[in-house]
Amino acid sequence: MSTQLIRLILQRVALGVVTLFVISILIFLSAEILPGDVAQTILGQSATPENLANLRTQLGLDKPPLQRYMNWLGGIVRGDLGTSIVNKQPVAKLIGSRFTNTLFLASVSALIAVPAAILLGLLAVRFRDKWPDKFISATTLTAISLPEFFVGYVLILFFAIKLPWFSSLSTVSASMSLGERLHAIVLPCATLTFVVLAHMMRMTRAAIIGVLSSPYIEMAQLKGVSPFRVIFRHAFPNAISPIINVVVVNLAYLIVGVVVVEVIFVYPGMGQLFVDNVSKRDLPVVQACGLIFATVFIGLNMMADVLSIIGNPKLRYPK
């Protein structure tokens, strides 16, 4: 590995760390400016001023915002996510199983969406400007235009109400078998796959078409190499770098964008936990969830940048 490559990778990592630090400030400030009084929300309208003051002291709300941010950030660095205000339990314990559920849903969706997107992209290129290409492109363009909540409610209407094949509530637990868990997440998984697959397929098609104009592709075609062989053996391997970049970015979206889908199907993941605790004003849980989402998103985007630099030598020597 060359010195130039190592320097670029370290730059991307340093930029990711700085970005995460800035986002941690925004997350803390966003939680701070939420309307209402945290202590009043917890104790109710009948709470006395003395009780409110004692609770604010207990929660550290009587300290300056800068001091509270530094204490929170210091705890994060030490691995302490804080304690839930509502449940009185460590935030790490509350998030543990929920984060596992979110990863399970995102992983199953990715295992379906990534191969399907690449295959559809290759088919669209093979039959470029013909009816298979037009049908696939029109379908994926429609999928990109539809928000997740609309797709989710349509699937619930048809496959949970009109055809009661699946439940509209995707409840999973540790005691369920793998088959039961997979059956429970069919609808949310289909929603995520439908939305993410479209973007990856269109980017795969665009990347391969860009490579097809290269001289070595034209030489292979002049030699009489079959169209399938030209695409699979020559074009696709050389277009793999931008395709990997798109796949990794969409994986980041799967983790962060799963919030809406989890709320629709009442799936016990990080997204549902985040929304529930926003309404309860449980700031330690809200801040921890937001920071974890940001860390995953930034980390996967940073991975996409690094893979692009490794796979494309042109990016190592910017003009």
pLDDT of residue 74: 84
Q: What is the dihedral of CA 200, 201, 206, 212, to 10 degrees?
A: 120
The better pLDDT of the pair 203, 24 is held by 24
Say which range, 38-52, 61-75, 98-112, 183-197, has the weakest mean pLDDT: 38-52
Rounded CA gap, 38 and 204, in Å?
Answer: 48
Question: Is 91-280 in CATH node 3.30.2010.10?
Answer: no
196's tokens: 């993410």
d(CA 185, CA 180): 9
pLDDT of residue 38: 64
* 136 and 201 Cβ atoms separated by less than 8 Å: yes
Other C-beta atoms closer than 10 Å to the C-beta of 112 total 16
Q: Is the pLDDT of residue 37 over 70?
A: no
What are the two backbone dihedrals, phi and then psi, of residue 81, each rounded to the nearest 5 degrees? -85, 0
Q: Count the alpha carbons within 13 Å of 115 in the hemisphere toward its beta carbon.
A: 5
- Residue 119, pLDDT > 80, answer yes
> Would you list the domain boundaries of the chain?
91-280
Length of the chain: 319
**Residue 273: what pLDDT?**
86
What is d(CA 281, CA 260) in angstroms, rounded to the nearest whole number? Answer: 19
Phi, psi of 57 (to 5 degrees): -65, -40
Tens digit of each residue's pLDDT (9 = 90 or more) over 43-55: 666 667 777 677 6
Confidence band, pLDDT 50/70/90 cuts, at residue 42:
low
